[in-house]
Amino acid sequence: MPTARSAARIDRSSSPRGRSARAATGQAAGKPLVIVESPAKARTIAAMLGPDFVVESSVGHIRDLPRRAEEIPKAYKAESWARLGVDVENGFKPLYVVAPEKRQVVEKLARLVEEASEVYLATDEDREGESIAWHLMEVLHPRVPVKRMVFHEITPQAIQRAVQEWRELDRRLVDAQEARRILDRLYGYEVSPVLWKKVMPRLSAGRVQSVATRMIVERERARMRFQAAEWWDLQASLDPGEGEPRFEAQSVAVDGQALASGRDFGPEGTLAQGARVRVLEGPEARSLAEALVGRPFEVTQVQERPLRRSPAPPFITSTLQQEAARKLRFSAQRTMAVAQRLYEQGWITYMRTDSTTLSDEALAAARAQAAELYGPDHVPPAPRRYEKKVKNAQEAHEAIRPAGERFRTPEEAAASLSGDELRLYELIWKRTVASQMADATGTTAQVRLVGTPEAGRPAVELAASGSVITFPGFLRAYVEGSDDPEADLAEREVRLPRLAVGDVVRAEAVEARSHLTQPPARFTEASLVKALEEQGVGRPSTYASIIATILDRGYVWKKGSALVPTFTAFAVVGLLERYFADLVDYGFTAAMEDDLDGIASGEREALPWLTRFYFGAPKGQAAEEDGAGRISALGLRRLVAEHLAAIDAREINSIPIGEDPESGEPIVVRVGRYGPYLQRGEERASVPEDLPPDELTVERARELLAAPSGDRVLGEDPESGKPVLLRSGRFGPYVQLGGAEESGEKPKTASLLASMRPETLTLEDALALLALPRLVGVDPASGEEIWAHNGRFGPYLKRGSETRSLERDDQLLGIGLEEALALFAQPKTRRGRQPAAPLRELGEDPETGQPIVLRSGRFGPYVTDGTTNASLRRGDDPETVTLERAAELLAERRAAGPPARRSTRATKAAKATKATKVTKAAKTTRAAGSRGTGSTRRRASGE
DNA sequence: CAGTGAGCGAGCTTCCGCTTGACTT
């Protein structure tokens, strides 16, 4: 912290080549070192700067907050805030670490800095880039002059200019980045644990992913609310005569009253209130269609308008992903991977950008190419410049375009590129060239016609529209794709015959067409990226990974290209909306960006901003002043603590589906450990994994409850003739003798053994299971029976009130009396029975002299010296772990102290979890409906 | 989500944004 400002000071007196600095430090003559972010960029710039410069890359950020417990330095492990990586009690000071995979990069840079005459920090000119530059300074602390160098386009002129026009590091921009980073960490690492405790372990929440998930869930909810409605219209094929071609027209009004069409139905699928339209129904439509065939229609109106369309701006990351999805059917990830290869091979400019700006070089190249290929008349007199339209754009780069001062055409590219790369390059090339071409012009025509069936019946008004492009302009190079196929059709050129008011045409054929209103479409990767960008959520470098994250967490799955939310997502979004509404507000990021701009411009400071977010607004200060009302009133920390006590997990994990129309009982989906299941009173049924939530209607739920889909009939019990079913339950798969509907007696059930798989289970296996418990024999000493049971913890023997666990599944069916007696003869402890042989003996601990062995335990492999045990960590391989490593782990474990005295906080949390589980279990067995109160839970967890 | 009896090495999961690695034959 203290060195930040002074280290960032830049020696203005030194010449660009740093001669004076060398003299001052007495260093050998070296070359200036330029550090950029990307290796590919380093290569390009190195070529432009020539041999007098050394150019190297940082490969992105070099330091960050520790990601996992493993990355927290030992010295900080005991700190109360270590888990967050931010000392929230002391000015939100971040703990930065160099990630293991970045060590090599940092070492290399450090070597180069030592040899350099001066250092140019040439990372991107945005918050993140400025921050990377600052971290480089902090980590490398060069003893030679340091200059901040910036450029927004990679052309020889721009680079040369940037070398001359360097500036100082902007600490405020760095502060803004750091504030952003800390807020995201606090949000993610405070809220995710709430989900672990209330919904499922390993889930996550974050400023970006939670909003993305919420959008997808809200869309699904809208689909669930949607009521499909039917409407009809007429399509007439009209013959103008005199050899002119026929044309098509659609009904728009009957008897002077406008007819409803798709767009008159709102998002709920119902007609907007007060809509003055009439819904044409089937019988009337059919009767009209029939009666209109062969009838004359008179042209009542002809409207011609000039048509002008302009090209779309050049690609930025989000639009590239959208168009590659529409036109090439690429996923966001595939698009970015292909673009990365094109960029690295020098075909295109940088692919992670939010700027539509083209460099002068690019403007000239695009215009020259357009003129050459399509003629000078297809290029406007002045270059087109596109205004920034992206919310929170940082605009550190150019738009995505073909690289170089002369674009290589797709034909030229085909010599070296193929497949995905060629296709994406062609897309980028077309879009770039088209963006500098002239508008397309033409005319559109709207024609109205009126005709009547036989006398006494109402008049029917038809409409036809056509459009003619007279000058294609940019359309010759590129047409933007659309998510809406109907809109796409409408874009097509349609020619109408020359018509004038008063002309009469004849209806050759009239068809009555039925339409169903469609629910709002699910998000695709491309439309989600578009929606996120519109809200300013996420950055070009993260769009693809946001989708990967929500897929990975099990919030969303892909059905074709559609993103379908899971019921887990419903539970999580429901929790967040209800208890952390401000955090999942769609405007949260935009408000945050405004604040960060304030920090970057010096209007506000990061510390009070973070304090307010985390600890709440100072007393007396109106909390509603900023967007995050409730958060700022209480502060995130207290909010989380409060909610941990108050949130009823059972309620959060219940998603209401509706009421059973027969019994009036509510039907809910509950998110359980084994996935979602339906519940109606005491009845339960699994929800198929591939069932989209909007298809789980009350009717469908009733069907599933009537015949739980997970069930499989294995066969018939030869003795009783009853069916043997394979089912899935709370404790995993089990078999059942007899159907559930058999009145009165409870059907006999038995869990599968650990070694059995439901997919391959046979009737024989099932019958053997149902025959359990098995009488092994009678103890000759006491006369007591010995039974083999299959229990919660696996197979075991029971003699009176005594039990012994069995080692293997097959003993359950095969163990004899003698062997059983031998087991009972041994004491009950695991050690007494048959201590599993150690996996490996590692040798003697150099510190204590105790032998260390590697064992396999419940939680995986661990090492022990007989008194202290330590689990292997991530990255430790049981096959190859050394004595030294084992001794180190044990020493760490001993240093942490005995379990009772260690981290009171963690222990308390563990106890609380246990207590909660007990209450939960008790609650479940109690009559349904008597929900635990907050005070009960508090007592339980306060224990 | 069915219902069936232990005692015992805990420690970790998670955020958003920058950027590409890759120990061998």
pLDDT reading at A932 higher than 50: no
Residue nearest to nucleotide B21 (CA to C1'): A101
Residue A398 binned pLDDT confidence (cut-offs 50, 70, 90): very high
Report CA Rg, chain A. Answer: 36
Going by their DSSP bridges, the two strands A504-516 and A146-148 should be labelled as unpaired
Asked, for residue A15, whether it belongs to a domain, the answer is yes
Distance CA A191, CA A194 (A): 5
Same domain, A249 and A326: no
**Nearest protein residue to B2's C1' (by CA)?**
A729
pLDDT of residue A727: 80
The answer to the question of residue A19 being in a domain is yes
**Cα–Cα distance measured from residue A330 to residue A399, given in angstroms and rounded to the nearest whole number:** 20
Number of domains in chain A: 5
Q: A6 pLDDT exceeds 60? A: no
- pLDDT tens string A861-882: 788 887 788 887 766 777 788 8
Taking C1' of B19 and every protein CA, the nearest residue is A60
Write down the pLDDT at residue A666.
Answer: 95
DSSP class of residue A198 equals H
A897 touches strand B (CB under 7 A): no
pLDDT of residue A22: 40
Give the distance, in angstroms, between residue A911 CA and nucleotide B17 C1'. Answer: 37
Are A108 and A29 in the same domain?
Answer: yes
B16: residue with closest CA to C1':
A184
CA of A181 to C1' of B16 (A): 7
Mean pLDDT within A663-692: 88
Distances (CA, A) of A633 to A205, A583, A645: 21, 13, 19
Taking the C1' atom of every nucleotide in all shown strands and the CA of A803, the nearest one is B5
A257 and A141 share one domain: no
pLDDT tens readout for residues A697-744: 999 999 988 876 567 788 888 888 888 888 877 677 788 887 655 555
Distance between the alpha carbon (CA) of A868 and the C1' atom of B8, Å? 14
Residue at which a domain ends, from A860, A879, A896 = A896
The whole-angstrom separation of Cα A361 and Cα A401 is 11
Q: How large is the average pLDDT for residues A347-361?
A: 96
**Å: A753 CA to B9 C1':** 27
Q: For residue A46, is it left (φ>0), alpha (ψ between -120 and 50) or beta? A: alpha
Q: Are A432 and A323 in contact (CB under 8 A)?
A: no
Tell whether A153 and A43 lie within a shared domain: yes
What was the pLDDT predicted at A739?
67
The reply to whether A340 has its C-beta less than 7 Å from any atom of strand B is yes
Mean pLDDT of A399-425: 96
Residue A625: what residue type? Answer: E
Neighbours of A719 (CB within 10 A): 8
Q: Which residues of A701-712 are buried (b: 16+ CB within 10 A; e: fewer)?
A: bbebbeebebbe
Q: Residue A209: what residue type? A: Q
Task: Say what the pLDDT of residue A76 is.
Answer: 95
Q: How far is the CA of A772 from the C1' of B13 (A)?
A: 39
pLDDT, tens digit (0-9, with 9 covering 90-100), for A636-657: 999 999 999 999 999 999 999 9
* pLDDT reported for residue A755: 76
Tell whether the model's pLDDT for residue A620 goes beyond 60: yes
Helices (H) and strands (E) in chain A, counts: 32, 31
Q: What is the pLDDT of residues A153-196, one digit of tens each?
A: 898 989 999 999 999 999 999 999 999 999 999 999 999 999 99
pLDDT tier, A452 (very low <50, low <70, confident <90, very high otherwise):
very high
Q: Does A322 lie in the same domain as A305?
A: no
Rounded CA separation A598/A600 (Å): 5
Which are the catalytic amino acids of A? 350
A871 touches strand B (CB under 7 A): yes
Output b/e per residue, A271-310; b: 16+ Cβ within 10 A.
beeeeebbebeeeebbebbeebeeeebebeebeeeebebe
- Nearest CA to the C1' of B8 belongs to which residue? A858
Of the candidates A754, A700, A710, the one whose C-alpha atom is nearest the C-alpha of residue A736 is A710
pLDDT, average across residues A827-845? 65
- Considering the domain boundaries, does residue A413 fall inside one? yes
- Domain extent, residue A460, equals 230-310+442-516
Tens digit of pLDDT for each residue in A105-153?
Answer: 999 999 999 999 999 999 999 999 999 999 999 999 999 999 999 998 8
Per residue in A489-516, pLDDT (tens digit) is 445 678 899 999 999 999 999 999 999 9
Helix (H) or strand (E) run with residue A54 in it: strand A54-57
Q: Which chain A residues 825-844 have CB under 7 A to strand B?
A: 828-830
Average pLDDT of the segment spanning A42-59 = 96
Same domain, A15 and A127: yes
Residue A542 lies in a domain: no
Residue-wise over A535-562: b if at least 16 C-beta within 10 A, else e?
bbbbbbebbbbbbebbeebbbbbeeeeb
Calculate the average pLDDT of chain A: 86
Q: Which of A169, A191, A216 is the C-terminal boundary of a domain? A: A169
Domain-ending residue, one of A380, A412, A438: A438
What per-residue confidence (pLDDT) applies to A709? 59
Residue for token digits 């794709």? A481
- Predicted pLDDT at A930: 30
Strand B near-CB residues (< 7 Å), A 464-503: none
* Whole-angstrom distance, CA of residue A59 vs CA of residue A78: 32
* Same domain as A361, residue A415: yes
**DSSP annotation of A27:** P
pLDDT reported for residue A491: 58
Q: Is the CB of A862 under 7 A from strand B?
A: yes
A456 belongs to a structural domain: yes
Nearest alpha carbon to residue A206 among A196, A192, A216: A192
What is the DSSP-derived secondary structure letter of residue A693? G
Q: Which residues contact A646 (CB under 8 A, 6 or more apart)?
A: A934
CA of A197 to C1' of B14 (A): 12
How is residue A18 written in tokens?
């740093």
Degrees (nearest 5) of the Cα angle A353, A356, A359? 95
In this structure, are residues A259 and A306 in contact, taking their beta carbons and an 8 Å threshold?
A: no
pTM reported for the whole predicted model:
0.85
Task: Out of A294-303, A482-491, A791-800, give the one with best mean pLDDT.
Answer: A294-303
Strand B close to A181 by CB, under 7 A: yes
Q: What is the pLDDT of residues A772-781, one digit of tens each?
A: 888 888 888 8
Decide: A533 and A318 in contact? Cβ < 8 Å.
yes
Are A346 and A284 within one domain? no
Q: Which residue's CA lies closest to nucleotide B12 at its C1' atom?
A: A69
Whether residue A498 lies inside any domain: the answer is yes
Q: Which two tokens stand for residue A307?
A: 């048509």
For strand B, the positions having any atom within 7 A of a protein Cβ are 1-21
DSSP assignments along A207-251, one per residue: TTHHHHHHHHHHHHHHHHH----EEEEEEEEEE--TTPPPEEEEE
Question: Are residues A35 and A165 both part of a single domain?
Answer: yes
Say whether the CB atom of A457 is under 7 angstroms from strand B.
Answer: no
Question: Does the pLDDT of residue A931 top 80, yes or no?
Answer: no
CA of A150 to C1' of B12 (A): 42
Is A270 inside a domain boundary? yes
- Supply the pLDDT for residue A457: 84
Of all nucleotides, the one whose C1′ comes closest to residue A131's CA is: B18
A363: in domain: yes
A244 and A281 share a domain?
A: yes
Tell which phi-psi region holds residue A630, choosing left (phi > 0), alpha (psi between -120 and 50) or beta: alpha
Q: Name residues 526-555 of chain A with a Cβ under 7 Å from nucleic strand B.
A: 537-542, 545-546, 549, 553
One domain, residues A148 and A24 = yes
Q: What is the pLDDT of residue A513?
A: 97
CATH code of the domain covering residue A396: 1.10.290.10
pLDDT for position A897:
57
Q: What is the pLDDT of residue A896?
A: 64
| Terminal-to-terminal C-alpha distance of chain A | 42
A426 and A321 within one domain:
yes
- Nucleotide B6 C1' to residue A197 CA (A): 26
